[in-house]
Amino acid sequence: MRYPIKLSQKERLLKAIRMRRDIVEMTSAAGSGHPGGSLSATEMLVVLYNEFLHHDPENTKMEDRDRMIFCKCHITPAIYSILARTGYFDPAMLMTFRKLGSELQGHPSRFYPKGLEMSGGSLGQNLSITTGVALGLKAQGKPNRVYGLSSEGDLQEGQSWEAIMCAAHYKLDNLILFVDYNKLQIDGNVEDVMGIHPLDEKFKSFNWNVLVIDGHDFDQIHEAIEKALTLKGRPTVIIGHTTKGKGISFMENQAGWHGKVANKDELALALKELDEQEAKVNLL
């Protein structure tokens, strides 16, 4: 399919709820993983993969595909969910997450499952790779777009700012970076650990186009990507203000859910909340 397209609000909401169900079920079954930051990135991934990203699950090496590179690599529950739900592999595989012999490792490998452009682990490294891929495609005169998804943890790393400086220097207007700005990390509040505020002004000073949105508002996400695609001469960052643990009431805005998973009772409560959300959406 050639993008962009625009899904209905009902379709978007149902896809986001489906992803959130995947995230809490996968991590609970594995007994490990990162639900908090996966839940905060859900809406951005729903819009990007279903409405803009030029990709083909049946032909993952097609030359004119857009590249999606995850800098925030620990959110594999969200990464694997969006790949499964857009046709890269059977969603039944999701429940093998982090199990011995599974293709679904705790951090992504570019070799498996299908649909991953780059392996990842340490924060900060993949933003440099994202910049390099965009530079290579631009040098070849190719029209492909390069998207990245970053986090506050990535932006606490000096290597990231070297990449940000480089992308602006080479005028990489084929690069669009999302920041899942949920303001919490494993050790607590980002500003207490290693502050990055004001993030918008930092990117502006590095000569990027800066778009600031509600990262859970589907229309704002869609409009920001649409605008970013028209901007020339500079890379663009879309800073999405989000809520860690979004969609599960007892996980929201709680740093403890960065790398903690739901026990049996908590999972039942989370799924009950998601069922109630889905029932309301189905009435739309």
User: Residue 124's pLDDT is what?
Assistant: 82
Q: What does pLDDT average to over the chain? A: 96
Domains of the chain: 9-281 (3.40.50.970)
The DSSP bridge pattern shows strands 188-189 and 184-185 to be antiparallel
**Distant-in-sequence, close-in-space partners of 6: CB < 8 Å, separation ≥ 6:** 51, 222
Is a pLDDT exceeding 70 seen at residue 2?
no
Return the number of other C-beta atoms located less than 10 Å from residue 31's C-beta.
Answer: 10
- Tell me the average pLDDT across 123-138: 95
Cα 155–Cα 157–Cα 163 angle in degrees, nearest 5:
75
Give the pLDDT of residue 271: 98
Predicted pLDDT of residue 13: 98
Query: pLDDT tens-digit profile of 185-228?
Result: 999 999 999 999 999 999 999 999 999 999 999 999 999 999 99
The mean per-residue pLDDT over the stretch 66-71 comes to 96
Position 123 scores a pLDDT of 83
Matching residue, tokens 């859970």: 216
Q: The whole model's pTM is what?
A: 0.96
pLDDT > 60? residue 1: no
- DSSP one-letter code for 122: S
CB 68, CB 48: distance < 8 Å: yes
